Amino acid sequence: MARRAADRVAAPASSHAPASGASDGAGEPQEPDTLPPLGGSYGGPLRTRLDALHELVGLSRTRVDGEALAEAGRVLDEAAARQRLSSRHTVIAIAGATGSGKSTLFNAFAGVCVSETGLRRPTTSAPIALSWSEGAAGLLDRLAVPGRLRRRPLAGGAADTALQGLVLLDLPDHDSAVTAHRDTVDRVLGLVDAVIWVVDPEKYADAALHERYLRPFAGHAEVTFVVLNQIDRLGTEATDLVLDDLRRLLDEDGVALGEHGEPGATVLAVSALTGDGIAELRELVARFVQERTAPERRLAADVDAAAARLRPSYLADGRPGLDERARDAFTDRLAVAVGAQAAGEAAERVWRRGAIRACGTPWLRLYRWYERLRAHGSVDPRPAPAEDELTARQRVEQAVRSVADEASHGLPAAWAQAVREAAERGADGLPEALDELTADLGDPAARPPRPAWWPAAVLAQAVMTLLQVFGALWLVGQIVGVVEPGLLPPVLVMLAGIVGGPLVEWACEGAVKGPARRYGQEAERRLREATASCGRARVLDPVAAELMRYREVREQYATVVGTRQTPRIVGGARGGTTRLGATRAGTRAR
């Protein structure tokens, strides 16, 4: 008999359930627990992965596709349900296509005709259970097996002792023409601990089996048996050829084969009719049952499947996040939107102009007053305030979009959308908040402070003006004869005032450059800091919170994935073509 898989087995099916529990189902008399328990509750890496999956679902409930999360939730529900039931039993389903001989194989295990066989199709219409020990009522209730279809095997001595704890199910045909039968198969396969797939030489390559069951649940290889039945119809050489082709198809499906002591599916050939290979199959199943690890293996495979389905929601290319460069760029854009630089420059100009005006000569100030009077009432060439306001709003919106794109780059779609929505919520009302902030800070150019030396400069300028007036009056007095003639002294006095006034003004103009620049820079800095604080509170902090939440779920997802190997990905086109060709080959064999 060609058996190249070892002592591992696995179940395909749908999503969840594995093992370990504490309480047995009520309703049947209890036997002393002579079987080693599974451990009462899931422990070790599996417990850690289940806890991480629970946290993952909770953190992602409003951000990840509901269908994918629902699948993970079903895994958790089935894990909890299986844990509450008997830990002394391993539930294995025998599944197969019409005419594959699974009911005959089921009867061979029982040692008595328990499941009806015959030419009428479908023969099996409801699951039939075979229990080698008491206490499995809760498991069978969960599987919805009617009480009238629960059986006990014919006593078989030591062989039956080795199977203590086994609950074997004979399922309807997975390719039945009756929809209710197919639904029953799908439901039960999602709950059992392991599966024995029975195939025959004619339909072992059937596309329905490979594409609907074996390929989608390739990750459950450790709890899967694939049995080639009816080898009594083949010769030894033909049996080896069919087994090799079956292994090839399983490999293309991504089902790991338990060869050379490696974990994976068990593949072997039997004849349920003649009994050839049945003893070997019973021995493998007995060893598998006594290990008491099938429920945990099944659940671990279900967690792997749920993690693979959730992978696009948590893993993507790139390194998402906001670095200092992106934060500074956002702050700079907001500062431009509120005109921080322009406000600082205006404050500097006003400061310098006020200083020069205060320290300038009276005649120059009079001239400037005259120029302002002439300019009064002229048309302001600047754009309308409404257009300026619209431009500022657009700049704020552009800044928010840019920082949202930067933060969401490299994130999975669901989390990228969450980051953008957080930024958009913060952007709502941000222009108005910046306007209020600017108004609260006041116009730095409205009343600039005066340096301590301004009074001395003003006094010096007043002295220069008085010298000019005194010299002029002196000359007038000489002209009218009130004062003794002497042209040089009054001219020198007037010249000192005339030259000294501009010199004082020039000196003040040079002295105010540094303080004016610092005043403008300080005004710009205050406005930038206030703007940055507002933008950080409304946009950057909510975005950072979403990124932090994403990092948390990434860590939980990494724990869920654990160290188990990711199932191989099978190319759809290649697999489909191969399956079709193999099916045709099987048809020709018929």
Mark whether 306 and 361 lie in a shared domain.
Answer: no
Residue 192 burial (10 A CB sphere; 0-12, 13-18, 19+): buried
- DSSP, collapsed to helix, strand or coil, labels residue 494 as helix
Would you say how long the chain is, in residues?
A: 590
The reply to whether 292 and 348 lie within a common domain is: no
Question: Are 338 and 245 in the same domain?
Answer: no
Q: Is residue 38 part of a domain?
A: no
| Average pLDDT over every residue of 478-505 | 77
pLDDT at 136 over 80: yes
| pLDDT score at 220 | 92
Q: State the Cα angle at 74 between 81 and 188, rounded to 5°.
A: 70
**60-84 tens-digit pLDDT:** 887 777 777 888 889 999 888 888 8
pLDDT of residue 191: 92
pLDDT digits (tens, 9 = 90+) for 159-174: 578 888 999 999 998 8
What is the average per-residue pLDDT within 102-106? Answer: 88
Q: How far is CA 287 from CA 8, 131, 161, 162, 225, in A?
A: 9, 16, 11, 8, 13
d(CA 412, CA 316): 5
Distance CA 160, CA 164 (A): 7
588 within domain boundaries: no
Last residue of a domain, one of 266, 286, 314: 314
pLDDT for residue 185: 92
Model pLDDT, residue 240: 92
83-101 residue pLDDT tens: 888 778 999 999 999 888 8
Are 158 and 285 contained in the same domain? Answer: yes
Whether the per-residue pLDDT at 8 is higher than 50: the answer is: no
Cβ contact 351:523 at 8 Å? no
Considering the domain architecture, whether residues 271 and 356 belong to the same structural domain is answered as no
Asked if the structure places residue 36 within a domain, the reply is no
Q: Is 195 helix (H, G, I), strand (E, B) or coil?
A: strand
Q: Are residues 364 and 248 located together in one domain of the fold?
A: no
Amino acid making up residue 195: V
> Is cis: bond before 122, omega within 30 of 0?
yes
For the chain, what is the mean pLDDT? Answer: 76
Residues 108 and 130 in one domain: yes
In a domain, 25, yes or no: no
Domain stops at, among 269, 294, 314: 314
The mean per-residue pLDDT over the stretch 255-270 comes to 86
Percent of the chain with pLDDT over 70: 74
CATH code for the domain of 60: 3.40.50.300
Q: How many domains does the chain have?
A: 2
Q: Crossing angle for the helix pair 488-535 and 340-359, nearest 10 degrees?
A: 160
208 assigned to some structural domain? yes
Question: Is residue 155 situated within a structural domain?
Answer: yes
- Quote the pLDDT of residue 28: 38
Between the alpha carbon of residue 73 and those of residues 50, 188, 310, 459, 460, the distances in Å are: 10, 18, 12, 85, 86
pLDDT of 450 reads 65
Q: Which of 3-12, 404-413, 434-443, 495-504 has the highest mean pLDDT?
A: 404-413
Which structural domain, as residue segments, surrounds residue 480? Answer: 324-370+386-561
Taking 70 as the threshold, does the pLDDT of residue 556 lie above it? yes
Do 256 and 331 lie in a common domain?
A: no
| 71 and 179 both lie in a single domain | yes
13 found inside a domain: no
Regarding whether 223 and 282 lie in a shared domain, the answer is yes
Residues 417, 302: one domain? no
Q: Is 429 a member of any domain? A: yes
Q: In Å, what is the CA distance from 265 to each residue of 12, 195, 259, 352?
A: 10, 10, 9, 87
Residues 295 and 345 in one domain: no
Q: Which residue has the higher pLDDT, 20 or 503?
A: 503
Grouping H, G, I as helix, E, B as strand and the rest as coil, residue 266 is strand
CA distance 12 to 248: 18
Residues 129/140, Cβ–Cβ less than 8 Å: yes
